[in-house]
Amino acid sequence: MSSATSEDTAPQPAGIVERLVRDDLDRKRFLKVVGSAGAASFGAFVMAACGSSSKTASTAAAPTTTSTATTGGGGDIAILNYALTLEYLETAFYEKVIAAELFSGKVGGLLEDFGRQEASHVVALKAAVSKLGGTPATKPNAKFPITSATQVAELAYTVENLGASAYLGQAANIQSPEVLASALAIHSVEARHAATLGTLVKKSVSPDGAFAKPADMSTVLAAVKPFLA
């Protein structure tokens, strides 16, 4: 029997979402950590995460070791570094947008706020990786097409939706309640950014309907590859 088959059939450790669904004690501890805001989001988050296919979960749980996103360990550390890599790119994107001076007034101020929030995510994720004993992923060189206000706004909408779906795609793989709480907090902000930008570019604020769709790691990394210098 091939090693790939053995890995597919071997029992896998339950992710924190699965444990929270099954274990009342774990669930109470988690809700105490995240507070009322996280608790309100948890039901929909579980439904979307557990609704992903087994193929998607398997792909997301086994990122390639050559990716920057997996630097410094496996499990939650790898997921945090994956998220950190995405946040590096989002921060770089907003830096380039602001430098291009394509926006002014309320919209310009809003994008500056988004950029500061993405930069805060970077700081928080680096600290989380270090706290778990890992090495934070290195900052990649980013390149983004910055040609016009309309093009940039639509790209921002795409990037933020991708970020939100990336966090959702990792929910079922996270082992630590604290890491899941952090992911929930950032996921919510990414989704709000995307919805706001959707209004700006006159596109749907909920493109996937009533339940957001998770994206696995390989899909997200393929989507951001054109933005890596």
104's CB contacts (< 8 A; 6+ apart) are: none
Phi-psi region of 105 (alpha: psi -120 to 50; beta: other; left: phi over 0): left
What is the spatial distance between Cα 207 and Cα 195, in angstroms, rounded to a whole number? 9
> What is the topology classification, in CATH, of domain 13-227?
Ferritin (1.20.1260)
Q: Taking residues 203-223, what's their average pLDDT? A: 93
Distances (CA, A) of 39 to 20, 44, 180: 12, 10, 12
What is the spatial distance between Cα 78 and Cα 111, in angstroms, rounded to a whole number? 29
Distances (CA, A) of 170 to 19, 45, 86, 109, 214: 15, 11, 13, 31, 8
Residue 34 has pLDDT above 70, yes or no: no
Q: What is the pLDDT of residues 149-208, one digit of tens each?
A: 999 999 999 999 999 999 999 999 999 999 999 999 999 999 999 999 999 999 999 999
Q: Taking residues 103-111, what's their average pLDDT? A: 95
- Most confident range (mean pLDDT) of 46-50, 52-56, 115-119, 204-208 is 115-119
Instruction: Note the pTM of the prediction, 2 decimals.
Output: 0.70
Report the pLDDT value the prediction gives residue 229, as an integer from 0 to 100.
86
Mean pLDDT of the chain: 78
- Domain ranges for the chain, please list them: 13-227
